[in-house]
Amino acid sequence: MNLGELILPEVEPQMHLTVMRSEIVEGLSPQPGGVYVDCTAGGGGHSEALLEAGPLSRVVAFDRDVEAVARVRERLTPFGERATVVHADFEGIEAWLAQAGIAQVDGLVADLGISSFQLDDGERGMSFRFSGPLDMRMDQTRGPTAQELIASHSADELANIIYRLGEERRSRRVARCIKQAEEAGELCTTADLRRAVVRAVGPRRLGGVDPATKTFQALRIAVNDELGQLTSLVAMSARILKPGAVAAFISFHSLEDRIVKRAFVGDEWERLTKKPMLPTEAERAENPRSRTAKLRLGRRSAAEEADASEGDDD
């Protein structure tokens, strides 16, 4: 997603707003007794909406951000045992469900965007809106930081990451300037990183987008293995969803959307959205960070269940 522009420190952070809340509820249509998975607890908005819409349903929400887990647990406290919040990444969801005795679920949602809490906390290093350490990890309990990733890659390797994950055409020049800043001891903060990128490509904005946006996106995706995690998630979704259950994915850039789109073309899925759904004009006006959101819905194919039933009749 777009990481916004460099602003003065006194500008107030934006409040976190749940993206396409009503569309998710309508798409999953929580039923009494159903179990629903929120793969990205974030601010807890989608989990809360599903619990409110399905008074007798249950939601298990996952997030690899420890702070998000604590925040959502508090928000969902009024729902009691109907809400469970777990610290785990996408690759840990299936194992947790199996251990909990949940073989399959009745619906799944994944909001793949970065939360406002993460973007507006300078100490997380997700954005250049505020100067902070070069961290960028969603799970700050493990894994290399962005600074460590930069240090462990050559200029050519770094350029490949920036080109592939940020779609930055000037990736070679950007990578060289980043490594030069590192070698000079001038790469310690997000402001330092943005300065190195501007030195490579100039300060001119294209379509209102800050020149460092693509590089920050690429490094954040690489640090968190976001595309690898998403690929695992869409494959897992076909295994943990009951036949006829719906999966909803909200993506914020073309790399994510492409993975979801290709997954829903397979025999295991019935596409419910040929083209992605977009936020309403009213939502985009209220929440500018939703402007790049794309929602795709897929229903788990019931073909396998039908085949099994035919076999039983023989």
Residue 217 belongs to a domain with what CATH number?
Answer: 1.10.150.170
- Report the alpha-carbon distance of residue 150 to residue 230 in Å, rounded: 23
Q: Domain for residue 7, yes or no?
A: no
- Same structural domain, 98 and 245: yes
Spatial contact of 234 and 240, defined as CB atoms under 8 Å apart = no
Tokens of 114: 């970065």
Q: Domain for residue 4, yes or no?
A: no
Please say if the pLDDT value at position 304 is more than 70: no
- Same structural domain, 29 and 169: no
Number of domains in the chain: 2
For the segment 181-201, the average pLDDT, to the nearest whole number, is: 97
Least confident of 41-50, 79-88, 119-128, 177-186: 119-128
- Report the alpha-carbon distance of residue 312 to residue 301 in Å, rounded: 19
- Same structural domain, 41 and 174: no
Query: How much is the pLDDT for 303?
Result: 60
- Same structural domain, 85 and 162: no
For the segment 157-166, the average pLDDT, to the nearest whole number, is: 98
Q: Domain for residue 130, yes or no?
A: no
Query: How much is the pLDDT for 204?
Result: 84
Please say if the pLDDT value at position 174 is more than 80: yes
- Same structural domain, 105 and 162: no
- Report the alpha-carbon distance of residue 159 to residue 239 in Å, rounded: 36
Least confident of 128-142, 144-158, 199-213: 199-213
Query: How much is the pLDDT for 119?
Result: 86
- Same structural domain, 232 and 108: yes
* Residue type for position 300: R
Query: How much is the pLDDT for 130?
Result: 86
- Same structural domain, 207 and 237: no
Please report, rounded to a whole number, the percentage of residues in the chain having pLDDT higher than 90. 82
**Which of 207, 223, 239 is the last residue in one of the domains?**
223
Query: How much is the pLDDT for 15?
Result: 56
Q: Domain for residue 107, yes or no?
A: yes
Please report, rounded to a whole number, the percentage of residues in the chain having pLDDT higher than 70. 91
Q: Domain for residue 120, yes or no?
A: no
- Same structural domain, 283 and 230: yes
Nearest Cα to Cα of residue 273 among 301, 254, 299: 299
Please say if the pLDDT value at position 308 is more than 60: no
Q: Domain for residue 242, yes or no?
A: yes
**Which of 223, 239, 268 is the last residue in one of the domains?**
223
Please say if the pLDDT value at position 14 is more than 80: no
pLDDT band at residue 205 under the 50/70/90 scheme: confident
DSSP readout, 84-131? EEEE--HHHHHHHHHHTT---EEEEEEE-SPPHHHHT-GGG---SSS-
Q: Are strands 83-87 and 294-300 parallel, antiparallel or unpaired?
A: unpaired
- Report the alpha-carbon distance of residue 238 to residue 264 in Å, rounded: 10
Helix axis angle for 226-240 and 254-263, nearest 10°, is: 30
**In 10 A of CB 99, how many CB atoms?**
8
Query: How much is the pLDDT for 201?
Result: 94
What contacts 24+ positions apart, CB below 8 Å, involve 280-283?
A: 283/19, 283/20
- Same structural domain, 148 and 286: no
Question: What's the Cα-to-Cα distance from 1 to each of 50, 170, 247, rounded to whole Å?
Answer: 25, 19, 21
> Residues 250-285: pLDDT tens digits?
999 999 999 999 999 989 999 999 999 999 999 999
pLDDT band at residue 306 under the 50/70/90 scheme: very low
- Same structural domain, 207 and 235: no
Q: Domain for residue 192, yes or no?
A: yes
Please say if the pLDDT value at position 182 is more than 50: yes
pLDDT averaged over every residue in the chain:
91
pLDDT band at residue 126 under the 50/70/90 scheme: very high
Least confident of 146-160, 175-189, 281-295: 281-295
Tokens of 104: 């399959």
Residue of 305 and 226 predicted with greater confidence: 226
Q: Domain for residue 252, yes or no?
A: yes
Buried b (16+ CB within 10 A) or exposed e, 163-200: bebbebebbbbbbbbbbebbeeeebebbbbbbbbbbbb
Query: How much is the pLDDT for 116?
Result: 83
> What CATH number did the domain enclosing 273 receive?
3.40.50.150
For the segment 112-130, the average pLDDT, to the nearest whole number, is: 88
Tokens of 126: 């997700």
Residue showing tokens 């599903």: 50
**Which of 223, 242, 272 is the last residue in one of the domains?**
223
Classified as helix, coil or strand, 278 is coil
Residue 209 lies in domain: 143-223
Query: How much is the pLDDT for 124?
Result: 93
- Same structural domain, 166 and 210: yes
> Residues 16-51: pLDDT tens digits?
789 999 999 999 999 999 999 999 999 999 999 999
Query: How much is the pLDDT for 2?
Result: 38
Buried b (16+ CB within 10 A) or exposed e, 263-289: bbeeebbeeebeebbbbeeebeeebeb
- Same structural domain, 157 and 177: yes
| DSSP classification of residue 288 | G
